[in-house]
Amino acid sequence: MNRYHLVHATEFRYDGPVSESYNEVRLRPIHDETQSCLSFRLLTDPVSRGTSYRDSFGNWVHQFNILPEHYHLKIEAESVVLAHDAPPLPTGGMKLSELEAHRAELEEEYLDFIVPTAYVPHVPELDELIAAATQSSDGTVSGFVNESSFLIHEKFKYVKGATHVNSSIQDSLAVKAGVCQDFAHLLLGMVRKIGVPARYVSGYLVPESAASPNAKLQEVIGGSASHAWAEVYLPNSGWIGLDPTLGKPLGLQHVRIAYGRDYGDVAPVRGVYKGHAGQRLSVDVSVRPAIDDDGREQLNENKAAASEAPAIVERAQQPAQQQQ
């Protein structure tokens, strides 16, 4: 197990005054049997009070409003996370030929993670990849999923700027390139099209130097720490994580923040404001091993009643960045 101290800072700077800014963020790490969120704190500048709730996927959502005129907005989320060792990928199990007999059962339980979405449509261009993964697999669902992840890693180039934050898999299929957001969507498309549930995972990829058990107490800074991958539901085994960007199973480097059908469900920052000013966005992520004092089990969350939605919205806050 490894413990990390994470700071995710998002800043909007406006070229004129804005007001009535209404925002929601998904930045609190997941807390479950495979990952422990030991502490979390959310700060904003200008200062605000907010409220929090869990969405339909179980993610923590924090909402806050900045009503007076302002020229910038900074959102800083700080957390301490204990990462557990990921379970090994299962072998064997259900055959691909048996999937059809379980389709109705899987759709009844996990329909949201099977049907196509705006980012992950069931397009014909996926069929060639599906056929290749099927042929190279051992004929099992787990084998197909593993081969699909490896195939995306081998066939698609990692190129920043090849796609954008709103790209669907059709864009990455056309250019045979993309970033982690695209590769996660491609894996979702392949396994969902054959009827296997799969969900998008938003999180951080801790640099290897910080993830090493013998890591020195040093800080690693950069937006590249924001990451995305996929989890697939294997009958009789449960949810299994795969990272097609790295082409290898999950490890202590992966810190989970939120689940969703695709990126649209888990954008780190989303909001609107009133005003005609343009905006400039910057995102910075800091990751370092946590010392003992960082691990106090406490939650310092801002809580207050949510204000009413604005009557007039002039501009929308841009989502935090394409996950790299």
Report pLDDT digits (tens) over 66-76: 999 999 999 99
Kindly list the distances between the CA atom of residue 42 and the CA atoms of 57, 107, 278, in Å, as whole numbers in the listed order. Answer: 21, 37, 25
4 CB contacts (<8 Å, ≥6 apart)?
A: 80, 81, 83, 206, 210, 255, 287, 288, 289, 290
- Are the C-beta atoms of 241 and 254 separated by less than 8 Å? yes
Kindly list the distances between the CA atom of residue 37 and the CA atoms of 135, 161, 208, 216, in Å, as whole numbers in the listed order. Answer: 41, 32, 20, 22
Average per-residue pLDDT for the chain: 87
Residues 49 and 103 in one domain: no
Does 218 fall in a domain?
no
Q: Which residue has the higher pLDDT, 274 or 303?
A: 274
* pLDDT of residue 319 exceeding 70: no
Does 324 fall in a domain?
no
Does 90 fall in a domain?
no
Which CATH number fits the domain that encloses residue 300? 2.60.40.2250
> What domain range is 41 assigned to?
2-84+268-317
**pLDDT (tens digit per residue) in 232-252:** 999 889 999 999 999 877 888
Residues 57 and 109 in one domain: no
Does 213 fall in a domain?
no
* Polymer length in residues for the chain: 324
Does 209 fall in a domain?
no
- Are the C-beta atoms of 317 and 20 separated by less than 8 Å? no
Strand locations in the chain, DSSP E? 2-25, 35-45, 50-54, 60-66, 70-83, 157-158, 177-178, 198-205, 220-221, 226-234, 238-243, 248-249, 254-260, 269-274, 279-289, 298-300, 315-317
Token pair belonging to 204: 């951080």
CA distance 267 to 99: 32
Residues 250 and 287 in one domain: no
CA distance 274 to 323: 27
Residues 11 and 37 in one domain: yes
Residues 260 and 161 in one domain: yes
Residues 167 and 289 in one domain: no
Residues 24 and 173 in one domain: no
User: How many domains does one find in the chain?
Assistant: 2
Residues 100 and 17 in one domain: no
**pLDDT (tens digit per residue) in 88-146:** 888 889 999 999 999 999 999 999 999 999 999 999 999 999 999 999 999 999 999 99
pLDDT, residue 239, reads 94
**pLDDT (tens digit per residue) in 296-305:** 433 333 333 2
Residues 174 and 254 in one domain: yes
Residues 130 and 185 in one domain: yes
**pLDDT (tens digit per residue) in 186-196:** 999 999 999 99
Residues 174 and 255 in one domain: yes
Does 43 fall in a domain?
yes
Does 210 fall in a domain?
no
Q: Which amino acid, residue 100?
A: E
Q: pTM here?
A: 0.87
CA distance 318 to 312: 17
Does 144 fall in a domain?
yes
Which CATH number fits the domain that encloses residue 172? 3.10.620.30
